[in-house]
Structure 1
Amino acid sequence: MLTNDVVARLVRAANQTDKIGAIEVRRLLDHAVSKITELRQAANIVPIKGRDALIYIQTVAAGADRVPAEEWHHGLLHAAEMLRDLHIVVESGTRIQIVPHKER
C-alpha cells in the first residue's frame, strides 16, 4: 500500500473513532509503525534511544482495547504526521544528519 494511502486511512480513522473498534485501531497503527520504520531506514534515520516518537504509537496500539478513543485519535494522527513527513524526506532526497548533543 502506498504511503499516501496509509496516511489517508489513518486520518480518516482518526476522524471516525466512534465508528471503528480497537482491533482496527491496532491493525492501522501496527501497519503505520512498520511503514515508519521502513521510511526511517530509507532516510538513514536512527531514533534516539528512549526518545523515539514511535513509543507513543506502539503504546496506543498495544493498549487499544484499554485506552479511550481520544488516545486512538491522537495516536492515529501522530502516525499519519510521521508518515507524511518521512515520505516527503525520502521522496525529496533530503539528507538528515543527527548530531548527538553533548551534555555539559
Structure 2
Amino acid sequence: MSLTTDFIAELIRAANEADKLNPFEIKRLLNRAVATIRDMREQTGIPGSNRAKDVVIDLQIAAARADALAADEIRDNLLDAADIIRTLKIILDGKPE
C-alpha cells in the first residue's frame, strides 16, 4: 500500500473510534489531512478555494476546535478528509505523467 492509502485507512479507523480520540490526536490527523489535500491539489492542478465552502477551511476550523467537537463531528470531519484524499488519489493515479 502507498503512504496515501495508509493515511486514508488511518483516517477511517480513527473515525470509527472518534469517541476514543483525544484533542491532540484529532488536531494531528486533521492538520495532516489539510496538508495532504493541499499537496495533492497542487499535484493535480486543482485549485483550492478561499471561499467558506472549501473543505480545507472546514477541516482547519475543526482542528482548531478539536477539544470542543462531539464524537459525530469528529467522525464526519475525518471521513470527509478521507473521502477528499481518496478522490484526489484516484485523479492522480489516472493522470498521465
Map of 1:76 onto structure 2: 78
Aligned to 1:52: 54
2:47 matches 1:41: no
Instruction: Give the letter aligned to residue 20 of structure 1.
Output: L
% same residue: 38
Matched, 1:88 2:90: yes
1:41-83, CA deviations, whole angstroms, 9 ceiling, x for partnerless residues?
A: 0000112331312111111111000121111101000000000
Q: Mind listing any 5+ residue stretches in structure 1 that lack a counterpart?
A: 95-104
Q: Over alpha carbons, which structure has the higher Rg?
A: 1
DSSP 3-state at the match of 1:18 = helix
The 5 A counterparts of 1:56-67 are 56-67=58-69
RMSD (Å) for aligned C-alpha atoms: 1.4
Hey, what does 1:11 align to over in structure 2?
Answer: 12
The alignment partner of 1:65 has SS state of: helix
Write out the 4+ residue segments of structure 1 that deviate beyond 6 Å after TM superposition: none
- Number of residue equivalences: 94
If the length of structure 2 is used for normalisation, what is the TM-score?
0.90
| TM-score, length basis structure 1 | 0.84
